[in-house]
Amino acid sequence: MARAWYNYNGVGDPLVLGSYLLSTVKPACINGGKVCAIYELNGGATPQLLSSNIRNYIANLLSLSVAQPDSIPGIKKYVYGKAGC
């Protein structure tokens, strides 16, 4: 199944599907201590699911403030962060 970018709404729990909205463009953010966007299975207006990998990437982003996964240089990032406001 295809994946799509979903923007985090900034107010809900970042582990809840309803906290994300479908984006028609790739986000400009990448690193920071708050969730900006996720690249997840396309479920329409909200993601189809939050896989265990995405959940782990979100937790790592919140700890490290770096787009995830960050273990291998050049690997596709599935969770982007942004600086706090």
- Kindly report, residue by residue over 9-64, the tens digit of the pLDDT: 999 899 999 999 999 999 999 999 999 999 999 989 999 999 999 999 999 999 99
Whether residue 73 is predicted with pLDDT greater than 70 in this model: the reply is yes
- The per-residue pLDDT for 9 is 96
The C-alpha atoms of residue 67 and residue 21 are separated, in whole angstroms, by 19
Domain boundaries defined on the chain: 1-36+61-67
User: Which two tokens mark 24?
Assistant: 């028609």
The C-alpha atoms of residue 74 and residue 59 are separated, in whole angstroms, by 20
pTM of the entire structure? Answer: 0.93
- The per-residue pLDDT for 79 is 98
3-state secondary structure of 34: strand
